[in-house]
Amino acid sequence: MKSTCLFCRLPAERILAEDGPCLAFRDGFPVSEGHTLIIPHRHVASFRDLTPDEWAAAHRLAQTIAANLQAADASITGFNFGANDGVTAGQSIFHCHLHLIPRRAGDHPAPRGGIRGVIPGRADYPCPHQPPPSPRHQFL
């Protein structure tokens, strides 16, 4: 499988960043400008197969790339971060990859519910309109 996997044969010039066992590159079919994929070097299909070291590296890459994207583009005010895991979840390349999707005000007419929208009608649910302040950002 590794020899036919697009992500295992990724050209070096596409790589944006690396952190030990993981790397990041821009999505070839981006949902928004800056849409980035984070993958382990090791060929595994599911996030459930990642080692603790791979998870930690993927998380660090997501944080670093998100910070860099926001520093370069003040219109980015949020992110969606997640995986399509398995055929029924929409996975199309079976090398584990995590999507980091920058979001901007107005990029969707009704963004509330975020990734819950993958199943039609499930994004709209009772919730407060104003999110509580994030402890990470309340002192900035």
Q: Which of 95, 97, 99, 129 is catalytic?
A: 97
Catalytic (active site) residue 59? no
CB neighbour list of residue 127: distance below 8 Å, 6 or more residues apart: 112
CA Rg value for the chain: 16
Three-state secondary structure string covering the chain = CHHHCCCCCCCHHHEEEEECCEEEEECCCCCCCCCEEEEECCCCCCHHHCCHHHHHHHHHHHHHHHHHHHHHCCCEEEEEEEECCCHHHCCCCCCCCEEEEEEECCCCCCCCCHHHHHCCCCCCCCCCCCCCCCCCCCCC
User: Which amino acids are annotated catalytic?
Assistant: 97
